[in-house]
Structure 1
Amino acid sequence: MIIQLLNGKQMDIADYSLKHLFHYIPSISLSHSIENVDGRDGGIFADSQFTDRVITVELLYESKDIYDYYLLRDEINALFTRKEAFYIIFKGEPYKRYLVKLNQAFQVTPNQHMESFEVGFTCVNIFGESIVSTQELKKEWDINQWVWNGQITWEDDLQYTYNSNVLSVKNLGNVIIDPRQHELEIIVKGTFPSNLSITNSTTGDIYTYNGSITLGDTLTIKGVQSFKNGLSVFKNTNKKLLTLAVGNNNLLINGGTVSSISFNFRFLYL
């Protein structure tokens, strides 16, 4: 198991005389809003939301003697007990990571040789996410990026930068990418005399920017915001968002000619 800090520093628990025995990743908890209706048995489900998830990891420490245990205990406490969030990466699924915080206090039972113990992690972001973003994908094996997973094969012609008005964007995770909650950056360059619209026919979403774009301009749609050459143009949009469904997303750009459009996001996993 790997611990990755927000600054990118990685620590392998094996370097702390720890062995990863098992880990348990439960399904995400759901919260339901139920409305009662007179004369009707039961209620009507008005809304359902994902709430929380706690990952439990069973670890084994190995010490040379009881004095070594005392030193190791302090290192283990410092490794997991952090106020700031950090990522955990399981070597069996090295293409994804979970942003977590320590769920509650844990205890490393004294033993002069070895002992197992459990640590619980509360997911800050309830979904797992791909180690790299779509703009970091490479077509060669990179052991430091762990790009490949069960959804990506060597034969896939993956690309997330296009020079066409008609394109298909693949979301290889199993969660819808929603810019209100998740990373999504779209950068558009081209020639659009008076307006630009992007239609995702897969989801039905339509984004419109009412303004001109020349070859020297860059329109950036980042999260819920829109920028032209770094300045906010949100008021000049239709104030709608583009989401990416699981699988292929067929997009059409109208209003002019695209010279370049890129999509940067991470795959998310339930």
Structure 2
Amino acid sequence: MKIPKKARWVLILNKNNEKELTSLSGLYFLEAEQEDLNYRALVQTSEINDGEVPISNFFDPFTLKLLFYFKGRDEKDLNLLVQELRQELAIRNSYYVVHSDLPMFKYPCNQASFEIERINNSDAKISISFRVFKGYKESLPNTLSAQLIDNNWGFGMGLEMQDLSYTHETKSFDIFNAGLEIDPRLQHTLKIAFSGIVTNKLTIYNQTTDDSFIYNGNLKKNNILLLDGVYPLVDGARCGKNTNNGIVRLAKGNNSIKIEGANDFKISFAFHFLYR
């Protein structure tokens, strides 16, 4: 992703391309506002007990509002700008929004609505409200990106002042998660890639969360075992029948990982930090 050189900017990222909204002639980004926390509380109640028993909270979608100023030459310019914004944002697929106020985060969005406050025939304030459908924002770089350790990106992400590594070749190591808990069962992206020699059984054990993923079988050095969220694959083919159907979560902060049953291996953890 190419960051604009101007001081204030807004980018739209999707699978096919990226678009800088502030590259549209006469459009200036003023400010961003994220609405208050929005979540659902799962509770258990009983007719014979007081109150309720909290079980878990789930994050609901929230709104990211971006305010722009448009300075045009005439009313036609303003109408053309609104049409172009709709063309960019009223699309079938979801996309990410990134803005210069918090450039280390990206917001997964799937809807946008407009409010236009005309100043005169050519100028207007334009408010765009994006629906952040996942209920959280993500770190822009993932854990295997060189940008993660760049101070310009790491500021505000909760990264500790330490050497962070997400690729390892030893049987015991730590994985640092700066954001919310990563739980693949909640469709959080976590890709654990392993290549190495396994002669009987491989165990990936997170001592912090007490989660274990076990692969039963042999692996050669050139095989790639990928735990893609809840789906295990060997060289691209599903292999769930050879596993314990386990998952690996990542708690906030340090996670102590142990590898058992493997030699001459490399393992990597690729994910984005999640934030409210």
The correspondence of residues 1-270 of structure 1 with structure 2, limited to 5 A, is 1-104=10-113, 106-107=115-116, 109=118, 111-138=120-147, 147-151=153-157, 156-172=162-178, 174-180=179-185, 181-270=187-276
Asked if the contact 1:73/1:108 (under 8 Å) is kept, the reply is: no
Whole-angstrom distance in 1 between the partners of 2:263 and 2:34: 46
- Give 1:101 shift: 2.4
Which 5+ residue runs of structure 1 have no aligned equivalent? none
**Structure (1/2) with the larger strand percentage:** 2
Change (3 A) 1:221 1:105: same
Number of residues of Structure 1 aligned to a counterpart in Structure 2: 266
Task: Name stretches of at least 5 consecutive residues in structure 2 with no aligned partner.
Answer: 1-9
Residue identity in the other structure for 1:228: V
The residue number in structure 1 matching 2:5 is none
> 1:130 touches 1:266 (CA, 8 Å); kept in 2?
yes
1:178 maps to a residue whose letter is D
Task: Tell me how far apart the structure 1 counterparts of residues 148 and 206 of structure 2 sit (CA, whole Å).
Answer: 27
Task: Assess if the C-alpha contact under 8 Å between 2:105 and 2:140 holds in 1.
Answer: yes
Aligned-pair identity in percent equals: 25
Q: What SS does the aligned partner of 2:249 have?
A: coil
Deviations 1:125-152 (A, max 9, x none): 221112222122248859xxx7433347
Taking the aligned partners of 2:164 and 2:149, their CA distance within structure 1 comes to 12
**Deviation by residue 1:134-193 (Cα, 9 ceiling, x = unmatched):** 122248859xxx743334779642221111111111112x21111221111111122221
- How far the C-alpha of 1:105 sits from its partner, in A, is 5.1
Match of 2:7 in 1: none
Q: Does the aligned pair in 1 maintain the 2:148–2:154 contact within 8 Å? A: no
Over 3 Å counting, the alpha-carbon distance change for 1:88 and 1:8 in structure 2 is same
Q: Compute the displacement of 1:95 (Å).
A: 1.4
1:41–1:101 CA distance, 2 compared to 1 (3 A): same
Q: Which secondary structure state, in structure 1, belongs to the residue aligned with residue 241 of structure 2? A: helix
Q: Quick one: which amino acid aligns to residue 81 of structure 2?
A: L
Shift, 1:108, TM fit: 5.6
- Are 1:165 and 1:258, in contact at CA under 8 Å, matched by a contact in 2? no
Q: Distance in 2 between matches of 1:57 and 1:138?
A: 25
Deviates more, 1:247-256 or 1:75-84: 75-84
Give the root-mean-square deviation of aligned CA atoms.
Answer: 2.5
Change (3 A) 1:80 1:49: same
1:191–1:215 Cα contact (<8 Å) kept: yes
Shift in CA distance, 263/16, structure 1 to aligned 2, threshold 3 Å = same
| TM-score normalised by structure 2 residue count | 0.85
With normalisation by structure 1, the TM-score equals 0.87
Q: Distance in 2 between matches of 1:176 and 1:154?
A: 16
Question: C-alpha distance in 2, partners of 1:89/1:46?
Answer: 33
**CA 111–5 in structure 1, closer or farther in 2 if over 3 Å, else same:** farther
Partners of 2:204 and 2:257 within 8 A in 1: yes
